Amino acid sequence: MTRTPLLRDVPRLHYQRSQAVARWLRDGHPVQLSRVPRQGRYISFYAQGRLGLWQGLIDSDQWLQAIWPQWSQVLGRSFVDNNLLELFRLLERPLELPPQLLDYQHLFDVQGVDGAVLETADLPCIATDQGPCWVLGLPADTAREPRALQPWTRRLQQTLRVVLGETALTPLQLRRLAEGDLLMIAGQTCQLLLAGRCIGQFTFIEEGLHMELTPEDIASDLAECAVSPLPVKLQFVLAELTLSMAQLNDFIEHQVLPLGPEALQQVEVRVGERCIAIGELVRLDGRLGLELREVYRGPGNE
């Protein structure tokens, strides 16, 4: 009988929010996870930007104080309460956000919200000139936004496969192959394959192979080389045991391999023979995943 180890569940929504903040912080933006004070009054809105639809929330008093500091001396409180949302809707750019974080072409579905009815959860919070802006709903494409290669990724190695051509055999022909047979190349492709993907072709010249890379349809400011978007194969190593040849020889079906109590918290992520991260095995939406604890990016992991 197979028994699944007891793993910590990671809520998907919290994971998505914390990952967005981590990416923004990595890029040098002043963002944090924080809870919305429940005693405040807020303006909720939806925004359509280049990455998709997202939902934001700002403190109504701080916003009005930022755009019109003298409001309390000019208008009565009741006038402000009745016309605040209309003022927000009328302004062409009621909120200024760093475009590298979140942008918008237009805002809609603007509503007033009492802080007492908001969820008690940590939300991405962006500092703006009009006060903090909490992000209730992230755009769907935030996680897939392309970024330039980080310096530490340049040390990862990929295997370049130089493929001269291919042919097809029936199972019977394959079984009959013997020494001395002449195996013909049916289709000469002369392809360069990286991570299972064709990145170009080659021709024979006197000095060796002349490579011609296939140009990628990628913006130059988001990728630093033609092979930047190619996938890297990761291995998740739960344990590495040192066994003698005698122990290997005694392997039998249903044998139990001992694991230390810390094994589920110390799973290694490897590219080839190189460990690039360590994390804890968790469950996300019923699937196994790894919550990274350490990521090795510095020169010490060369």
pLDDT-wise least confident of 26-40, 51-65, 103-117, 204-218: 204-218
Nearest to 203 by CA among 216, 213, 194: 213
Q: What is the pLDDT of residue 33?
A: 93
Structure token pair of residue 15: 């994971």
Question: SS in 3 state form for 127-189?
Answer: EECCEEEEEEECCCCCCCCCCCCCHHHHHCCCCEEEEEEECCCCHHHHHCCCCCCCCCCCEEE
The answer, yes or no, to whether residue 199 has pLDDT greater than 50, is yes
Buried b (16+ CB within 10 A) or exposed e, 34-48: eebeeebebbbbbbe
Q: What is the pLDDT of residue 78?
A: 55
Domains of the chain with bracketed CATH: 8-137 (no CATH), 149-156+232-302 (2.30.330.10), 158-168+184-230 (no CATH)
Q: What is the pLDDT of residue 125?
A: 94
Q: How many CB atoms lie within 10 A of CB 174?
A: 9
Q: What is the pLDDT of residues 200-243, one digit of tens each?
A: 887 867 766 777 877 654 333 334 455 555 666 777 887 776 66
Contacts of 163 (CB under 8 A, 6+ apart): 189, 190, 191, 192, 193
Q: Are 185 and 165 in contact (CB under 8 A)?
A: yes
Q: What is the pLDDT of residue 224?
A: 47
pLDDT-wise least confident of 19-33, 60-74, 191-205, 208-222: 208-222
The pTM score is 0.62
Token pair 């197979």 is found at 2
Q: What is the pLDDT of residue 302?
A: 45
Contacts of 164 (CB under 8 A, 6+ apart): 185, 188, 189, 190
Question: Would you place residue 140 in the very low, low, confident or very high pLDDT band (cuts 50, 70, 90)?
Answer: confident
Q: Cα–Cα distance between 230 and 214 in angstroms, integer?
A: 13
How confident is the model over 29-35, as a mean pLDDT? 90
* Cross-strand bridge partners of residue 244: none
Q: What is the pLDDT of residue 214?
A: 78
The answer, yes or no, to whether residue 257 has pLDDT greater than 50, is yes
How confident is the model over 266-273, as a mean pLDDT? 82
Q: What is the pLDDT of residues 279-296, one digit of tens each?
A: 888 888 878 888 888 877
Is pLDDT larger for residue 133 or for residue 16?
133
